[in-house]
Every structure is written in C-alpha cells, then in structure tokens.
Structure 1
Amino acid sequence: MAKKNRKQKTIKQLKKMKKLTLLLILGFGVLMAMAQEESKNEEISTIFSKSRSNGGYGAISFSYTQLDGKDAFMMGARGSWIIDHSFAIGLGGCGFVNDLNHHHWMDNDLTYNLAGGYGGIYLEPIIGPRLPVHISFPVLFGVGGITNIANGNWENNWMFDNGNEDEFLIMEPAVELEFNMTRHMRLAGSFGYRFTSDIEMDNTNPDVLEGFNVGIVLKFGKF
C-alpha cells in the first residue's frame, strides 16, 4: 500500500511539473520572438553561418532565500553557450544551507540544519543583449538532494544523518537584470522561484524547498 501511494504521489508530481514545463515552453516562444525582433530584417542565417556570432560564459552566483521560514544561503555556478547573443544553453548547479533549528530532541543541544544541492540544464533567452542594461530569463530544469545535518554542540562537531534525506526534481525560472560592465564581464541582479517535487523527510514540509530567492550573478566570457 505504501509503495502504491508513493507511486500515485510521484505521478501527480510529474503531472504538475509537466504543466509548468508546457507553460514555460510557451513563454520561451514569446521571449525568443522578442529576442530576434532586432534582426528580423536581416537575411536568414543558419547556426553555422558566418554572419551569426556565438560565444559563451561562465558564472558564479550568490543568493539569499528562506527554507521553512528560516534564512538560507545559496551559492551556484554555471557555464553556457550563447547563440547569436540572444539565447544561451548550458549546465549548472547550486548548493544551499540554512541555520534552521529543524526540530529538538528531548530539549538537548542537538540542532539541525537543512543542506543540499541541485543541478541540471539552463535555458536562457536574452532580451536586448547589446544594450548596456538588459534582461534575461534563465530557467533551470534539474534534480537534487536534501538532508538534515545534525549539529551536536555537546560534541562541537557536525554529524551527518543518512537516515533523513531525499531526492527531488526542480524547475527554477528566474529573471536577471544585467549590466554590461565591460565587453567580457556582466553583473546581474537575480530574482527567481523554485518549484520542486515533494520532499519526503521526517518533520519536514513537502514543499520546504519551494520559494523565492534573490541574489547577484557575475558572468565572464564572450557575449
């Protein structure tokens, strides 16, 4: 019975992610049309055409969010290939940790922090890339893992509880306001939201990872 319920829950989660993915695909169509608007009067070119300029970048990010109502820090990295200045595709990931007193056990000094990470593929339409200030819409599709880390002050060290962990699917759309600092460096302010499959851990809300995050992104490369 437990396996059947878990299977039904997984199917519902996949349907939810599928609906969100379809909405994002429709949104991508609109954004790509906007990104290509500036060159609509030019001759048709192919991916390998000499008139098309491709590039790439590497980026690091630092973000603030809340997990279960508690402050959390996130740090990420990604690398992407840029097609004709207006669309980027790449791989990346992010790690997170919070200072959550997740639950108490017999009122002793044992506390818990949520920690984990996720990664996957990035798709990123870029609007007005030649302007000094412009916007992009990166979306991450990926997988990740989360666990509780027990901090026993009476031992003054960290203990990993491998009996309280889970894996999840994630989709994270975001909007980034980018500033062209130099020809090879961009600084962006980022605002995003995490959609995940249910988290199944003791004393943990199923949607504990869902929520907004804000941060900064540093990008270096050929844009």
Structure 2
Amino acid sequence: MRIFILVTLVLSSITIFGQKYVDTNDPKDEEVKSLLSKKNDINAFGAADLKIGDLKGERGLLVGAYGGFIINRRYLFGVAGYGLVTQLRFDGVVPGQTESKPLNLHGGYGGIIIGGTIAHKELIHISIPIILGAGSMEIVDKDFFLNNPADSEFTVENSVFFVAEPGIELEFNITKYFRLGAGMSYRYISGTKLENVKDEDVSGTTAMISFRFGRF
C-alpha cells in the first residue's frame, strides 16, 4: 500500500508538470523546446524545512535545507539534506547480547530535489517536491562505557539506505521573495541492514513546514 501511494504521487507529479504540446505542422517552427534554453527564466532559491514524523514508533523532528534553481517560475531542481535533531530513544538489543536496553537512533539523508508549482501567481498555490537520494543511520548506546563519564557512547550498528520522499504543500506568497509552505510527505526508506531497525520502522508520513527564499 505504501509503495502504491509513492508511485501514485510520482506519476501524478509527472502528469501535472507535463507541458501541453500542440503540433502546428509549421516548418518554420523547428526549435526543440528544453528546460535549459536561453529563453527560459532561471532563478536561484534557498529554503529551510521542519519535518515531524514517527521513526521507530517515536515522534521525531527533522531539520534540513534545500536549494537550487527555479525554471520558468514553475519547475525546481536542486539538492536537499535533512538530519534528525531530537533524541529518539527505544528499547533494543546490542548485537551479541540477549537483554534489551535503551538505545538511541541517529541519522539523516539527502539527495536531489525536483518538483514544480501549480498556479504560482496565485496567493495560495500547490507545490510538489520530490526527494531522491540516500542516507545513513546509526544505533548508539549512550551507557556502553560506564567507567568513562567523559565519553560513554558507543555505536552499536550503522547502515546506509535509499530514500524517496514525494510531498505536496500549500504554499503562500508572503512577499515577492519569500514563500511559506505547509503540507505532508511520504518518506520511503529501503536497504537498511540493522538488527534493531527495519525499513518500515523509519518509513512513513511526515508533516512539514517550509520557508523558501528567492526570486519568484
């Protein structure tokens, strides 16, 4: 069901972003249209995000930023990165041991961000960002070295993973150079190789708030 939702969002985005093409059969009109042509309007932008969602059954806060270029005031392309900033604690097992104990989850992810905007001139419009990339995750035992109060932490296990995160936001034009967005995304994670955390433990729906700056 989760993969179906992901595929539906991506296909919907592609359909929305597709340009309407009319074949005029005019031999003079032979120019091939492309996003990176000189006739297009390309502006840089930067943004900061706050994302709240469940990871390993606990509510976590992810903070990140992304930036890149807006083409023709509709399409965006850039890079993004997010990190878990709240202390996420759960009962787990240190590999090689049998008794459970409190462990902490640390991690983050990043990659390319693509997307577009529907009705960008309106006061309230729709923005659809899609993140494709990778991340890393580690499980930490904060009380592993009890006899060393200066540094008692120990990384129990770690893993890299693939992430795909399509989202949808209602975006507000606050000023010509500032937009505020609020919406939801679905974080799909695959490829974790941990004893304490599975892919489904860290995949899920996320609420987000975006602060975007640039020439819109």
Q: TM-score range by the shorter chain?
A: 0.7 to 0.9
Relative distance call for 1:21 and 1:179 in structure 2 (3 A) is closer
* Alpha-carbon displacement from aligned partner over 1:166-214 (angstroms, at most 9, x marks no partner): 0000100000110011100011003001111132112222322101111
2:25 equivalent in structure 1: none
Q: Provide the alpha-carbon RMSD of the alignment.
A: 3.2
2:207 equivalent in structure 1: 214
1:102 is displaced (CA, Å) by 3.3
1:107 is displaced (CA, Å) by 7.4
- Secondary structure at the residue paired with 1:207? helix
Residue 127 (structure 1) aligned with residue 115 (structure 2): no
Q: Give me the whole-angstrom Cα distance separating, in 2, the residues matched to 1:103 and 1:92.
A: 31
Q: Give me the whole-angstrom Cα distance separating, in 2, the residues matched to 1:158 and 1:90.
A: 39
1:192 equivalent in structure 2: 185
Relative distance call for 1:31 and 1:98 in structure 2 (3 A) is farther
Q: Give me the whole-angstrom Cα distance separating, in 2, the residues matched to 1:158 and 1:59.
A: 36
Contact 1:70 1:98 in 2 (8 A): no
Q: Give me the whole-angstrom Cα distance separating, in 1, the residues matched to 2:175 and 2:152.
A: 43
Q: Give me the whole-angstrom Cα distance separating, in 2, the residues matched to 1:63 and 1:203.
A: 23
Percent identical among aligned pairs is 26
- Secondary structure at the residue paired with 1:30? helix
TM-score, normalised by the number of residues in structure 2: 0.79
Q: Give me the whole-angstrom Cα distance separating, in 2, the residues matched to 1:21 and 1:174.
A: 9
Contact 1:82 1:88 in 2 (8 A): yes
Unaligned 5+ runs, structure 2: 23-28
TM-score, normalised by the number of residues in structure 1: 0.77
1:83 is displaced (CA, Å) by 0.5
Q: Give me the whole-angstrom Cα distance separating, in 2, the residues matched to 1:173 and 1:103.
A: 30
Q: Give me the whole-angstrom Cα distance separating, in 2, the residues matched to 1:127 and 1:49.
A: 23
Q: Which structure 2 residues correspond to residues 166-185 of structure 1 after superposition, within 5 A?
A: 166-185=159-178
Of 34, 47, 50 in structure 2, the residue corresponding to residue 59 of structure 1 is: 47
Q: Give me the whole-angstrom Cα distance separating, in 2, the residues matched to 1:81 and 1:111.
A: 43
- Secondary structure at the residue paired with 1:100? strand
Contact 1:55 1:82 in 2 (8 A): yes
Runs of 4+ in 1 over 6 A off after TM superposition: 19-22, 104-108
Is the helix fraction higher in 1 or 2? 1
Q: Give me the whole-angstrom Cα distance separating, in 2, the residues matched to 1:94 and 1:77.
A: 7
Residue 144 (structure 1) aligned with residue 135 (structure 2): yes
* Alpha-carbon displacement from aligned partner over 1:74-125 (angstroms, at most 9, x marks no partner): 00100020010110000011111442223267879x6321111111100111
Contact 1:67 1:98 in 2 (8 A): no
Unaligned 5+ runs, structure 1: 1-15
